């Protein structure tokens, strides 16, 4: 039975090649999209799930007095103390990351991130070893990831080799490579390149860390609590250490500590400050693709159902014969579903090919996302594929199956059953497709407009022609001096704090209120080089100590937190930590994190030249690349052993541009796909309508109907559904696009009038061209011939 049906199916597929190709391709795109979205979703919620003891591991977060957000950092001695004092805690591990210059043999010095941790690290976490040992109890050992081994040693065997940490400094440390680890997976909140013992950590003043230093905040501390039910008690017990910390750090007084389960560690998008651990992609990245893929999949299912029903008259005779030969209704429905199931199966196979191309492309578009589809080693994915196959088969195949099998043989042979596909249900399906096309087209246009909007956006500070160089107290003066002679450099400013790279959070107090504010301690002429725009008052007096320690400049947002305008803020007294200061100026707001976060309150204070650690460089107009190269050359001349740490200011917007451009690209393709699906569905239905009315049209033309009237006759049953789905589609498109855009970018352009006009025009053009081709073809037939053939 099945072999007979399979034969028939394949012969039918071959006979109606174009129909089969369009349908299988459409479905495969839908399936591929959903698999992509599903894997993205699973990836987003898979962070840190690969650690065996993960339910026993908790990270300590610090709640600081007067600060709303929790901090990821934690006093260094808290780990050992908790283990020593609290019976429920079996072990601890501390993490500290630092970027430093590193040198191996005769190779050039590199800038690398080194992670300092305790030997218990590998008891806590499962990061597999490739070669050597994962032993960092011996302080002279260092472990590398595969990538960093390749970066440092190329193809050479790294085991037993020596690397020099802090190369070029007086306190440089030789280390022996004891092992190579696999790269931490992207869905690990703990990322590292090189790992060594915590005790090797060297502070800025070149001294080693002291284990009982309560002023030092480690990047992260984890506790192991073998019975997780004790976590609540441990959290309470940790509170007794808060006063010790508060005494040691007046500027960051701990109130209490919070235990965060390892499963939650990657879920803190932006509600934790000073968080060095990687976070999972935002919700929009997890849910956005799902919505999009479902739309496309539904559209391709609708297309399948519509074209199958539309084509069913070609199959009616076969169905009739089968009924006469003893096939009952269920058998015919089964055959029809089987046929659909087979096409969906082919589509599923094709989707794996599509995804083998698309997933790497997608991974390259966004950092921090790495999606793969290992169909055979991932049982969840395999199950998903099975359910997807079944679901799509039923959704796409049930209606045509019942439609085709419901007529009885005598009706069919008598010829009273003709051309299905133009009934209300088919028209509604087409309407839904049009709606989906509207949504994706609007989203596509809106995101590309948003891209333009972001390119020309005023951040409140200079982003073009500016870059900054990270220095230290030993290199600052000499490098500053050397760079001031550079030809392509227009201006320089030394500073400690710098927009979007170096600032600290303070609790700014005035009128008895305390508001969390970012404080940038800046140097002379910083405002000039960064082109900050003053709304009122004045900036700090350059090259004078007059404004040190008792003046402050607020951003408009910081002033408004206390209910002040740019004018009324002037002269007000504010306080933070032990400093009392007077507001001397108000600047325009700054978008420090590009478009991702709302505007935050910012304050500027003046800092002495001896504290400068960053040199901000403004190039001559349009010469930023030349200036950057010149700055690098000067650096290499001065410090051949040390890596050059410099960043273009426009990098802060670059990530936003990339994200936006990627989303626009995705929507662009989805818009094209859904438009093509709609066009195919529309073409099929209109072809049938015309076939049904061919005789009527010919007679009308003989008696003198105009082409316009013929167009009306053909389309009249669709007009209402077109208008309705267009209107609904526009509203749904606006709503969904806004939702998605707001989820990703706090600052965005939304859906503008022109976007809607272009989208609607695009859809109408698509409909007009599809209809036009078919109607033009009909009008080119000679009425006399049509009538002779349809007597």
Partner 1 sequence: MIDLQHIFKWVPVGGARNFLLRDLSLQIGEGEFVSIMGPSGSGKTTLLNVIGMLDHFDEGEYKFLHEEVHKMKEKQRTQLYKQYIGFVFQAYHLIDELTVYENIETPLLYQDVKGSERKALVADMLDRFNIVGKKDLFPNQLSGGQQQLVGIARALIAKPKLILADEPTGNLNSKQGEEIMNIFSELNQQGVTIIQVTHSEKNAGYGSRIIELLDGRIVN
Report the interface residues with partner 1, using CB under 8 A.
1, 4, 7-8, 11-12, 15, 317-318, 320-329, 331, 408-410, 413
Q: Which residues on neighbouring strands pair with residue 616, listed in sequence order?
A: 468, 493
Under 8 Å between Cβ of 748 and 667:
no
Segments in 503-648 forming alpha helices (H): 526-529, 556-561, 624-638
Q: How far is the CB of 4 from partner 1 (least distance, A)?
A: 6
Q: How far is the CB of 15 from partner 1 (least distance, A)?
A: 7
Q: Which residues on neighbouring strands pair with residue 179, listed in sequence order?
A: 132, 143
What's the CA gap between 614 and 468, in Å, rounded? 7
Q: How far is the CB of 11 from partner 1 (least distance, A)?
A: 4
Q: How far is the CB of 691 from partner 1 (least distance, A)?
A: 19
What's the CA gap between 366 and 87, in Å, rounded? 44
Q: How many residues does the chain have?
A: 791
What's the CA gap between 618 and 789, in Å, rounded? 80
Q: How far is the CB of 3 from partner 1 (least distance, A)?
A: 9
Of residues 4 and 204, the one with the C-beta less far from partner 1: 4
Under 8 Å between Cβ of 494 and 635:
no
Of residues 168 and 327, the one with the C-beta less far from partner 1: 327
Q: How far is the CB of 5 from partner 1 (least distance, A)?
A: 9
Nearest in space to 193 (alpha carbons), one of 163, 232, 226: 163
Of residues 327 and 391, the one with the C-beta less far from partner 1: 327
Under 8 Å between Cβ of 49 and 190:
no
Of residues 308 and 384, the one with the C-beta less far from partner 1: 308
Q: How far is the CB of 417 from partner 1 (least distance, A)?
A: 14
What's the CA gap between 593 and 663, in Å, rounded? 19
What angle (nearest 5°) sits at the alpha carbon of residue 441, between those of residues 440 and 442?
90
Q: How far is the CB of 406 from partner 1 (least distance, A)?
A: 12
Of residues 7 and 632, the one with the C-beta less far from partner 1: 7
Q: How far is the CB of 355 from partner 1 (least distance, A)?
A: 33
Nearest in space to 667 (alpha carbons), one of 286, 350, 296, 372: 296
Nearest in space to 522 (alpha carbons), one of 600, 585, 457: 585
Q: How far is the CB of 409 from partner 1 (least distance, A)?
A: 5
Tokens of 69: 């957000």
Of residues 327 and 750, the one with the C-beta less far from partner 1: 327
Of residues 322 and 606, the one with the C-beta less far from partner 1: 322
Of residues 409 and 698, the one with the C-beta less far from partner 1: 409
Q: Which DSSP letter does residue 611 get? A: G
Q: How far is CA 169 from CA 81, 173, 209, in A?
A: 33, 9, 17
DSSP-derived 3-state class of residue 466: strand
User: Which H helix or E strand runs over 93?
Assistant: strand 91-103
With a CB cutoff of 8 Å and minimum separation 6, the contacts of 204 are: 472
Under 8 Å between Cβ of 71 and 273:
yes
Of residues 228 and 327, the one with the C-beta less far from partner 1: 327
The conformational region for residue 105 under phi > 0 = left, psi -120 to 50 = alpha, else beta, is: left
Q: How many CB atoms lie within 10 A of CB 19?
A: 18
Q: How far is the CB of 439 from partner 1 (least distance, A)?
A: 39
Q: How far is the CB of 14 from partner 1 (least distance, A)?
A: 9
Of residues 72 and 320, the one with the C-beta less far from partner 1: 320
Of residues 356 and 411, the one with the C-beta less far from partner 1: 411
User: Which H helix or E strand runs over 130?
Assistant: strand 129-132
Backbone angles phi, psi at 281, to 5 degrees: -60, 160
Q: Which residues on neighbouring strands pair with residue 132, listed in sequence order?
A: 179
Of residues 316 and 766, the one with the C-beta less far from partner 1: 316
Q: How far is the CB of 339 from partner 1 (least distance, A)?
A: 11
Q: How far is the CB of 17 from partner 1 (least distance, A)?
A: 14
Of residues 318 and 464, the one with the C-beta less far from partner 1: 318
Alpha carbons within 13 angstroms on the beta-carbon side of residue 530 total 31
Question: How do strand 217-218 and strand 74-75 relate by DSSP bridges?
Answer: antiparallel
DSSP-derived 3-state class of residue 620: coil
The conformational region for residue 271 under phi > 0 = left, psi -120 to 50 = alpha, else beta, is: alpha
Of residues 409 and 471, the one with the C-beta less far from partner 1: 409
């Amino acid at each position: 039975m099945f072999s007979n049906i399979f034969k028939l199916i394949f012969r039918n597929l071959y006979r109606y090649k174009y129909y089969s190709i369009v349908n299988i391709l459409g479905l495969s795109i839908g399936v591929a999209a959903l698999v992509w979205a599903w894997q993205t979703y699973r990836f987003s919620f898979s962070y840190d799930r690969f650690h065996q003891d993960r339910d026993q591991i908790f990270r300590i977060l610090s709640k600081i007095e007067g600060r709303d957000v929790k901090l990821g950092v934690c006093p260094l001695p808290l780990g050992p103390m908790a283990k020593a004092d609290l019976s429920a805690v079996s072990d601890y591990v501390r993490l500290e990351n630092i970027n430093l210059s590193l040198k191996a043999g005769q190779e050039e010095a590199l800038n690398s991130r080194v992670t300092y941790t305790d030997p218990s690290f590998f008891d806590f976490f499962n990061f597999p070893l490739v070669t050597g040992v994962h032993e960092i109890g011996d302080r002279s050992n260092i472990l590398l990831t595969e990538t960093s081994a390749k970066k440092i040693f190329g193809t050479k065997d790294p085991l037993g080799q020596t690397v020099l940490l802090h190369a070029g400094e007086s306190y440089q440390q030789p280390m022996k490579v004891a092992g190579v680890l696999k790269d931490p997976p992207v869905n690990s909140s703990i990322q590292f390149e090189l790992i060594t013992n915590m005790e090797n950590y060297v502070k800025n003043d070149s001294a080693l860390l002291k284990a009982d230093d309560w002023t030092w905040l480690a990047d992260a501390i984890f506790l192991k609590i073998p019975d997780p039910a004790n976590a609540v008690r441990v959290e309470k017990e940790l509170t007794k250490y808060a006063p010790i910390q508060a005494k040691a750090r007046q500027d960051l007084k701990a109130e209490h500590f919070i235990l965060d389960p390892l499963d939650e560690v990657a879920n803190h998008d932006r509600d934790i400050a000073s968080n060095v651990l990687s976070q999972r992609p935002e919700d929009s990245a997890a849910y956005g693709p799902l919505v999009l893929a479902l739309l496309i999949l539904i559209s391709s299912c609708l297309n399948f159902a519509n074209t199958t029903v539309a084509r069913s008259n070609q199959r009616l005779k076969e169905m009739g014969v089968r009924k006469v030969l003893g096939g009952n209704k269920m058998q015919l429905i089964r055959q029809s579903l089987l046929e659909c199931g087979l096409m969906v199966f082919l589509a599923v196979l094709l989707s794996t090919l599509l995804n083998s191309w698309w997933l790497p492309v997608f991974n390259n578009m966004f950092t921090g996302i790495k999606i793969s589809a290992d169909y055979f080693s991932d049982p969840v994915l395999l199950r998903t594929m099975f359910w997807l196959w079944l679901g799509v088969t039923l959704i796409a195949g049930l209606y045509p199956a019942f439609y085709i099998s419901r007529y009885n043989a005598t009706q069919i042979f008598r010829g009273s059953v003709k051309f299905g596909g133009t009934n209300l249900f088919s028209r509604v399906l087409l309407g839904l497709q049009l709606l989906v096309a509207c949504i994706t087209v609007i989203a596509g246009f809106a995101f590309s407009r948003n891209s333009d909007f972001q390119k020309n956006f005023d951040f409140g500070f200079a982003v073009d022609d500016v870059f900054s160089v990270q220095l230290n107290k030993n290199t600052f003066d000499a490098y500053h001096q050397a760079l001031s002679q550079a030809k392509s450099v227009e201006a320089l400013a030394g500073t400690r704090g710098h927009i979007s790279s170096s600032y600290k959070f303070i609790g700014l107090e005035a009128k008895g209120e305390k508001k969390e504010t970012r404080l940038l301690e800046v140097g002379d002429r910083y405002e000039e080089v960064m082109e900050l725009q003053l709304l009122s008052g004045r900036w700090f007096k350059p090259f004078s100590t007059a404004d040190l320690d008792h003046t402050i400049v607020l951003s408009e947002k910081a002033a408004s937190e206390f209910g002040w305008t740019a004018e009324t803020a002037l002269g007000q007294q504010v306080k933070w930590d032990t400093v009392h200061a007077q507001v001397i100026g108000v600047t325009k707001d700054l978008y420090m994190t590009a478009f991702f976060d709302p505007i935050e309150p910012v304050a500027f204070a003046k800092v002495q030249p001896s504290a400068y650690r960053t040199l901000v460089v403004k190039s001559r107009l349009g010469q930023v690349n030349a200036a950057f190269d010149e700055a690098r050359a000067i650096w290499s001349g001065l410090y051949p052993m040390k890596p050059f740490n410099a960043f273009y200011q426009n990098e802060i917007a670059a990530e936003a541009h990339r994200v936006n451009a990627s989303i626009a690209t995705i929507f662009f393709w989805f818009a094209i796909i859904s438009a093509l699906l709609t066009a195919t569905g529309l073409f099929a239905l209109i072809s049938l309508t015309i076939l049904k009315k061919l005789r009527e049209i010919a007679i009308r033309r003989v008696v003198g109907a105009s082409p316009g009237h013929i167009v009306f006759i053909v389309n009249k049953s669709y007009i209402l559904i077109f208008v309705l789905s267009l209107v609904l589609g526009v509203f749904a498109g606006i709503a969904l696009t806004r939702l998605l855009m707001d989820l990703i970018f706090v600052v965005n352009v939304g859906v503008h009038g022109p976007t809607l006009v272009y989208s609607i025009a695009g859809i109408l053009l698509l409909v007009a061209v599809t209809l036009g081709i078919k109607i033009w073809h009909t009008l080119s037939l000679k009425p006399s011939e049509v009538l002779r053939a349809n007597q």
